[in-house]
A and B are shown apart, each in its own frame.
Chain A
Amino acid sequence: MAANKQRNVRNFSIIAHIDHGKSTLADRILEKTKALTEREMKEQFLDAMDLERERGITIKLNAVQLQYEANDGEDYLFHLIDTPGHVDFTYEVSRSLAACEGALLVVDAAQGIEAQTLANVYLALDNDLEIIPVINKIDLPSADVERVKQEIEDVIGIPADDAILASAKSGIGIDEILERIVSDIPAPAGDPEEPTKALIFDSLYDSYRGVIAYTCIKEGSIKIGDKIKMMQTGKEFEVSELGVFTPEPVKKEELTVGDVGFLTASIKNVGDSRVGDTITLAKNPAAEPLPGYKRLNPMVYCGLFPVDADNYNDLREALERLELNDSSLQYEAETSQALGFGFRCGFLGLLHMEIIQERIEREFNIDLITTAPSVIYEVEMNDGEVLNIENPSLMPETKNIKEVREPFVKATVMVPNDFVGPVMEICQKKRGAFVDMEYLDENRVNITYDIPLSEIVYDFFDQLKSQTKGYASFDYELSGYQPSNLVKMDILLNGETVDALSFIVHRDFAYHRGKHIAEKLKKIIPRQQFEVPVQASIGNKVVARTTIKAMRKNVLSKCYGGDISRKRKLLEKQKEGKKRMKMVGKVEIPQEAFMSVLEMSDDD
C-alpha cells in the first residue's frame, strides 16, 4: 500500500530568473490540478508574503501538495516546492532542492538564460535532480526558441531538443509539463520501513502552536502522538499535529516517505527546531542524520539599531524569530556611542539585508536605523596577530597595522554584445581585475572580473542595471582575500566622531568619497537650531568639511480656509519625523543619513 503510494509521489521545484514567469507557471499548475477553484485563485498564489508580492520575488519557501490524474489513469501526488530566484537566497534554494527529486527549469524564450538561473541550475545538478527544461513565453513576438534551446545545451550542457514549449500566461504547454513531471521525475527513494528521517526545510512560529516545522519525509513515517527527536539538538517532543498544504493546510494522521508537509509538537523554543536538522523517532532513532545544507556564511554586515531604545528587546526577539527559518542570518549584540544598543548582523547579500530590515519594520513594527553595510576585513597587526574586522569603527589605528586584506569576488556578468564597453568600464571603476570574456553565442557575452566585495556592496548592481538598460544579469562568488591600501574614514558632526558613520575606503578614492559624503549629509540632515560643521577625516587629518546652517524659520503661516485637520496632519508628520530621528550628541540625524555613505551616484 505505502509502496504504491510512494511510487506515485513527485517532488519538484521550479527554477527561474525573476520575471521569467515562475509564479504564473506555478499558478497554472495549481489551476490545472484543481488545487484552487477559480474563486480562490488569487494571482500568484505562492508569493504569500506582502513583501514578496510587492517586489515580485519569492523569498520564503512554500510547499504545496497537488493531486493529478495522469494520462496513464493513475492518481499522482505532487509536491511543488517554490524556490527564491535571487542570488542572495542561494541558501534557501539549496534547502528546497534538497527536498526534491526534480526541477522545472523555466527560461524566457526572448531573454534566454540569466546568470542567477545558472547558479541555481548548478545547485540542482549538484543535488542530482532531474531537470526538465521549459521555454516560457513562446507567444512573445521576440521569442527565439531555437536560440534558447541552443543556449541551454551550450551553457548548461543538458539536452534541450525535448524542451517543453510553453506560455504560462496563455496556458500553453501546461498539460505537457504535468505529464513530463510524471514520466521524467523519479519517485522519492526512501523506505517506509526504515528508521524515520525527516528533513526540516523551513519553519515558522505561531504563538499558540509553537514552532511549525515544514518537513519532507525521506525515510520511514511519523504519526500523531509519536515521540520525535531532533538529531542536532537531541531534544524530544510529542507530535501534536501533522498536515499538508493543498495549498490550504489540511490535517493528516500520518506523514510517510515522500510526503511534504508540516508538523507541530509544542516546540516553544525556536532554537530547538533548526532548519536543516533531521527529525527521527525517539523509540527507533536513525543512526545518521540526513546531510545538512551547504551552510552559507554572511558576506555583508551592518548594524541594526532601534530608533527607540526601549525597543531593544523587541528587536532581539524579532531577530530570533527570523533566524528560526533563516539560519544564514547572523547577529550579535553591538554598542555604538552614537546609536546605543543594537545588533551587528550578517547577511548573504544586499537584497537579503534589505528584506530582513523591511520584515523587522513591517512584521514586528520596530523603527530601525541601519548603518551602511560593510564586508569583513582581515587586518594583520605588526605583532602578527590577524583580526577579522566587520565593523569599520573597530578598525585599529593605522600605525599598528601591517596589512589590510579585503574579500574579492569572482563576478560574472552576462550581457548582450552592445553593452560590453559600459560593463567593463564599471568593473574597472570598481577596482576590478579582468579575468575572462566568453561569447555564449553571436550576441551574448559572459564577462568575468575579480572585484572587491566592498565595491559590489556599494552601488555596483544599480550602476550595472542603469548602464545596460537592465539587460545585464549578474552573479558572484567569494574568491578570497587580497591585500589592499585601505583606510578608515571618520565622519564628525558638530566636532564629534559619529562611530556609526565610519567606513573603510581605498586610499585612492578617500578624498573624493569623503567630500561627496560630507555634501550628502549636508543635504540629508535637516537644519538644527545651531550651525553644525560636517567633517570627514582620516586619522586626525580632515579631508573634507562643510556646514549645515542653523534653522531660521519653521512656521506654517498659511490659513487653509478652516482646514484644521490638515494643519494637524502636518504637525503630526513633523512630530513623527522627529521621532524617527536619532539624537547623536546635540544633533538630530534622520535614518537615511546612516545609509548615505553607500550611495555614490555621479549625478549628485
Chain B
Amino acid sequence: MERSVYIHIPFCHEICHYCDFAKMYYNRELADQYLNYLRTEMKLYLGDKKINSRTVYIGGGTPTSLNEQQLEKLLSIIHEFINIKETEEFTIEANPGEFSEGHVKVMRDYGINRVSLGVQVLDDDFLKLLNRNHEVRDVDQAVSTLQQYGLNNISMDFIYALPNQSIEHFRKTLDMALDYNLPHYSAYALQIEPRTVFHLRHQQGKLNKPPEEDEAEMLMMLMEKMEKAGKHHYEISNYSENGFESQHNLTYWSNQEYYAFGAGAHGYLNGERYVNLRPVNHYNQSLANQKKPVLHRETISLKEKIEEEMFLGLRRIRGVKDDEFKAKYGYSFYDFYNKEIQQLTQKGWLEDRKRQIYLTKDGFLFGNDVFASFLLDEKTYNRVIHN
C-alpha cells in the first residue's frame, strides 16, 4: 500500500506567538546535524528500497528557515528514499520574505510542485502582533517569484479571529487574498494553545479576542466569499479550485496511514498512531543510538478507527458515504449511529441523503458538537459488534 509522507523541519528564525508545534530557533550547525539524523530515521523505517508515495509534505516549523544548501540536502535525502517521479503532490511550507530565488530553483529542480505560504493576515501591524517575521509586501514578492519559476500551485494559510480583529478587518484581508486568485486557500480561527505567548496574555486578560458572535460571522463571510470566487469549500478550513484540493491533507481526513519523520512529527503506521520526540536534541540522541525516536505510540482499536473515520470524514464537505464505510468495516454506519444521525439531522446540523451524511452550513459552526456525538459508548459498540 502506498503511504503518504510527512517531514517536519522544526526550525524558525522567529517564534510566532500562537504556535505550539515542535519548533526552535534556527542554528546552522544544529540544522546540519538534524538533517543527518532525519536521514537516519528514514533509513530505519524505509531501508534501502525506494518507496512510492502519492503525496509528500514538508512542514514545520519553517522549512524555508534552512539555507539553500540545507534545503538541497533535505530534498536529496528525500529523493534517496522516495521515487518522487511517482509522487502526485509534493508540498513545502514556505514563509514569505524568507526564501530567495535560489531556494525556489532548488524546489523546482527537486520536483516540488505545490507551495503553501504562511501568510496569516495581510496587515503589517497584525503581523507584528503575531510575531511573524514578514511584511505584506513580502507576500507579493513571494508569489511572483514562485510563479516566475512555474510553481503556480500555491496555497495561502490565514488565521482569523485575531486579537482586536474586527469583521471589517478580516474582510479586507480576505479581499486582498482573493486578489491573488490562487488555486487554494486555508483559513483557521485562532486557537489559544498552552505554552504560547498568546496563552499567557489570554490568562492575564490582555489578549482581547473578538467575541464568539464575530468569530461566527467571520466564518460565514469566509465561506461566502470563497464560494463566490470559485474556490469551493472541501474541508472545514480548506477552499480550492476543482482539482487543486490538497491531496496530502485528504489522506488525514480519509483516515489513511502515513509516515512521519522529524522531531515532534505525528505518524500512523500499521494501525498505530505515534508521535516523535519533540526536543531536537532528544530526537538526535535517539537516532545516534539507531533507535526510532518515538515518544509515544498507541494502537488504534477498531472502535477508535470507526470513530475517527466519522469525525475526520465529516470534516470533508462531501462527508462520509455508507458504501465506503461498509467496504472498510463490514458494517453500515447506521448500525452504530442511527440515533445520533437522526438527532443531528433534526437539529439541522447534518444532512442525510442517499446513504451519505455531511455537515450543513449550521453544522460547520458547531462541528465539534457533531464530531463529539460520533464517539461511541462501549455499550452501543459491543451490541453491534457482538450481534
Contact = CB atoms under 8 A, between A and B. Distances in A.
Contact of A562 (B6, B188, B368): B6
A552 B216 contact: yes
A555 B375 contact: no
A121 B366 CA distance: 61
B258 interface: yes
A553 B212 contact: yes
B364 A555 contact: yes
Given A564-B308, A574-B372, A556 B6 contact: no
- Which of the listed residues A527, A552, A561 has the most CB atoms from chain B within 10 Å of its own CB? A561
Given A549-B213, A557-B236, A564 B268 contact: yes
Contact of A557 (B59, B189, B216, B267): B189
A47 B236 CA distance: 53
A565 B299 CA distance: 11
Interface string B73-87: 000000000000000
B168 to A, nearest CB: 18
Contacts of A554: 365-369
A568 interface: yes
A329 B225 CA distance: 64
Contact of A556 (B59, B191, B266): B191
Contacts of B249: 559
Contacts of A560: 266
Contacts of B304: 568
Contacts of B258: 562
Nearest to B304: A568
B234 interface: no
Nearest to A553: B216
A563 B273 CA distance: 9
A169 interface: no
Contacts of A527: 212
Contact of A575 (B275, B364, B375): B375
B219 A553 contact: yes
A565 B372 contact: no
Contact of A559 (B237, B267, B365, B372): B237
Contact of A553 (B237, B265, B365): B365
Contacts of B368: 554-556, 570-571, 574
Interface in B287-313: 298, 304, 307-308, 311-312
Contacts of A561: 6, 8, 21, 59, 265-266
Contacts of B325: none
B337 interface: no
Given A558-B191, A571-B371, A563 B266 contact: yes
- Which of the listed residues B237, B260, B371 has the most CB atoms from chain A within 10 Å of its own CB? B371
Contact of A555 (B236, B266, B307): B236
A512 interface: no
Interface string A561-604: 11111011011101100100000000000000000000000000
A49 interface: no
A384 to B, nearest CB: 55
A449 to B, nearest CB: 36
A551 interface: yes
B191 to A, nearest CB: 5
Contacts of B367: 554-556
A571 B372 contact: yes
Contacts of B266: 560-565
Contacts of A551: 212, 366
B26 interface: no
A463 to B, nearest CB: 23
Contacts of A571: 311, 368, 371-372, 375
A102 B12 CA distance: 69
Nearest to A560: B266
A564 B273 contact: yes
Contacts of B6: 561-562
A571 to B, nearest CB: 5
Contact of A552 (B186, B191, B212, B273): B212
B307 A568 contact: yes
B252 interface: yes
Interface in B235-252: 236-237, 249, 252
A562 B307 contact: no
Interface string B253-292: 0000010100001111000010100000000000000000
B187 interface: yes
A552 B298 CA distance: 35
A553 B369 CA distance: 10
Given A555-B366, A555-B367, A557-B189, A564 B372 contact: no
A555 B366 CA distance: 5
A464 B340 CA distance: 51
A565 B275 contact: yes
Given A556-B367, A557-B236, A562-B258, A567 B375 contact: no
B215 interface: yes
B365 A562 contact: no
B61 to A, nearest CB: 10
Contacts of A578: 372
Nearest to A573: B372
A558 B186 CA distance: 10
A555 B189 CA distance: 9
Interface string A514-554: 00000000000001000000000000000000000101111
6 contacts: A551-B212, A554-B367, A557-B191, A564-B252, A565-B275, A575-B372
Interface of A: 527, 549, 551-565, 567-568, 570-572, 574-575, 578
Given A554-B369, A555-B366, A567-B312, 20 more contacts: A549-B212, A553-B212, A553-B215, A553-B366, A554-B366, A555-B367, A557-B188, A557-B236, A558-B191, A558-B237, A559-B237, A562-B252, A562-B258, A564-B268, A565-B275, A568-B304, A568-B307, A571-B371, A571-B375, A578-B372
